[in-house]
Amino acid sequence: MTIFYERHGHGPDVVLVHGWGLHGGVWSDVARELSAEYRVTVPDLPGHGRSRDFLPREFTPEVLAEEVQRVLPGPAIWVGWSMGAFVALAAAQHFPQAIIKLVLVGATPKYVQSADWPHAMSLTVLEQFALSLEQDYAATLERFLSLQMAAGEDRAVLRRLRDELFRHGHPPTAALREGLRLLKQEDRRAALPGIAVPTLVVHGERDRITPVGAARFLAEQLPQAQLELVPGAGHAPFLSHTAPFLETLKGFMHG
């Protein structure tokens, strides 16, 4: 059994990896645009979307990356958003032969603040999400989506995220719980200098989930990285600022 995926277009391979609680449908506009030049694979991660009944042996970035790699025709440009960026980083670290280039969107090497890491949400906030998930997961997911918006950003982005959220049924609470545990525990900072693949870090300038300091750290620590900030954007610049996002993405992919 493998995870669900869609594939569109012809050309060099690209894979688009979504974030926590959502599914591949969130990439639909980007996938449609890229499919004119690329063969685009859009998976639903285990426990999400149309892979909701597929739970891996472990819910770790490495195992999730392995499941994504399994459905790819060959080496690809990996584009990961939010938790999907954890998956893409794990792929670049453990399966470098599968990576042509790496694109990290709304990414961070560590989601939770610590004494040596201010560029993140507090542990209290994430633990409150975990507690609320057990009581009312729909409301918890809605709150998480609202955090992805920057102040003053077009509310159509939030409506789009809400529309996608339950399009393929309700995600299993177990998968959501495991995803939060992953976000709480993972720290990939030490691995970054060893990931020697051309990398684009794209980040909303007003991201409230992964502050821009995290993006600057990624760009400094990854040996072949470049940083592009999207002015006025929150956590999902590919939805709120699609045209400039695509321009930046295509420029990097063509380069």
Containing 249, the helix (H) or strand (E) segment is helix 242-254
Q: Among the options 13, 18, 44, 207, which is catalytic?
A: 207
CA distance 183 to 125: 12
CA distance 230 to 188: 24
Q: Among the options 18, 51, 82, 119, which is catalytic?
A: 82
E-assigned strand segments in the chain: 5-8, 13-17, 39-43, 76-81, 99-105, 199-204, 225-230
Q: Is position 187 annotated as part of the catalytic site? A: no
* 110 to 7, 41, 78, 190, 217: CA distances (angstroms): 31, 26, 19, 11, 11
CA distance 99 to 41: 14
Select from 46, 54, 9 the least CA-distant residue to 24: 46
Q: Is position 35 annotated as part of the catalytic site? A: no
Cα 119 off chain centre by: 17
CA distance 217 to 219: 5
Q: Among the options 18, 23, 203, 235, which is catalytic?
A: 235
Q: How far apart are the first and last CA of the chain?
A: 36
Structure tokens that stand for 18 in this block = 């979504």
Q: Is position 235 annotated as part of the catalytic site? A: yes
Residues that are catalytic: 82, 207, 235
